[in-house]
Structure 1
């Protein structure tokens, strides 16, 4: 039980830390403005892209660290991400284009599946 909890927390933290770190670096480099209200669509798509990659990695990492049932653990992290995404739509949806927050909600189940499946496929090929 503790190993499962740690696997999920590590996956979640890796996603959050990587996203915040990348955001901060891009802001310091003046590539990403501090005011998210005035961001162009290509820039929002770029941010969405790297956050999707970090989310897939987080689910992959969770599956890798899971003591058993790696896909189940990736889906649990995806469920947490889904709840956080819905909270983002409700509470912070006004901070950017409406479709950005919704895209995270819609893509989260696929992201969890892909992250977990990448690990499972890697293990089968060994």
Structure 2
């Protein structure tokens, strides 16, 4: 039981860290190439804001897929746990940084946490089902 719990915690931490590291890394690259500035993110073009939303969504899906893959059981539940954590952290981030970005960005980041978690879990289940069928 304790081993299963540790595997669950590890799966959640690995998926969360993957999404966070990829997002922070992409933000860093965007800033270093002068494509955007987190200081003046509110002044960024719509194309840049949409790009950030898109890569954050993809990175969230990736992290949740990894969590589902590493989960000892109930992969969708593990992926959705990240979605819940992401929603809470996104709300806190939006409150703290509300004046740094347009409201639509803040709200989109909040509302995409659970759908991206569900999609990551669903993608794992679809590929896991295909792998089992081939065996």
State the match for 1:11 in structure 2.
15
Map of 1:23 onto structure 2 = 27
**Shift, 1:54, TM fit:** 0.2
- Partners of 1:11 and 1:77 in 2: CA distance: 8
Aligned partners of 2:117, 2:21: CA distance in 1, in Å?
A: 18
Deviation at 1:37, TM superposition (A): 3.1
Say which one has the larger Rg: 2
- Measured on the aligned residues, the alpha-carbon RMSD in Å equals 1.0
Residue 76 of structure 1: aligned partner: 81
Structure 2: gaps (5+ residues): none
> Equivalences for 1:12-91 in 2 at 5 Å?
12-35=16-39, 36-91=41-96
- The aligned residue for residue 110 of structure 2 is 105
Structure 1 unpaired stretches of 5+: none
TM-score, normalised to structure 2's length? 0.89
Query: Using the alignment, how far apart are the partners of 1:109 and 1:50 within structure 2?
Result: 16
Q: Would you identify which runs of 4 or more consecutive aligned residues in structure 1 move more than 2 Å?
A: none
- Deviates further, 26-35 or 7-16: 26-35
